[in-house]
Amino acid sequence: MVSVAAVCASVLSISQAQTPAYHIAGISCVPSSQTIKAETYVSQAGNIRFDIGKTGRLTMFCPITPEQSFRGALKSLTTLLRDDDGRGSGLVAVNLRRLQRSDGAISDHPGAQLNSNRDCRDSDVTGWKECVVRFETGLDFSRFYYFFQVTLERTDARKNVYLGGIRLQGAPT
């Protein structure tokens, strides 16, 4: 017979393993000043996308705040996106970036970059999908501020390119 405590411990372990260390909905991201001036994007129903009939490049910045309950190494960057031209000219790119607290220098965080045309297993499938890049690292909030820089590109106004959300997954300790 299995004890109630063992079942509860198993459920807790599973839920911790599946809980993102950090996450943000696309609609929470801030457009760059160039993106605002271009008037090419719409934020709607939790996501960011190109406005009807518009093409070009959108750049968004998404903040990352420390999650006090998470302890452990980060293992993956997952992005919910839509890139309807598969590996064509449309694109969703996500870079985990860091701002050095001591001097303001900005750099990419090693290994945490995702490109929908390169990194999605089902890049040729249209519609919503989650794309994952695996890496192993930690975030040092004592030395850096962190953010995602997201780029959406579209050359064909008939193809959808959306950002739904981003999360960093980890293995809790």
Q: What is the pLDDT of residues 33-65, one digit of tens each?
A: 999 999 999 988 889 999 999 999 999 999 988
Q: Which one, of 81, 78, 77, 59, lies nearest residue 126 by Cα?
A: 81
Higher-confidence residue of 173 and 40: namely: 40
Token pair recorded at residue 165? 């959300």
Q: What is the pLDDT of residues 4-35, one digit of tens each?
A: 344 333 333 333 444 568 889 999 999 999 99
Kindly report whether the global pTM for this prediction surpasses the value 0.85. no
**Tokens 């997201």 belong to residue:** 150
Token pair recorded at residue 135? 């890496």
Compute the average pLDDT of residues 67-87: 80
| Average pLDDT taken over every residue of the chain | 82
Q: Which amino acid is at 43?
A: S
DSSP state letter for 27? G
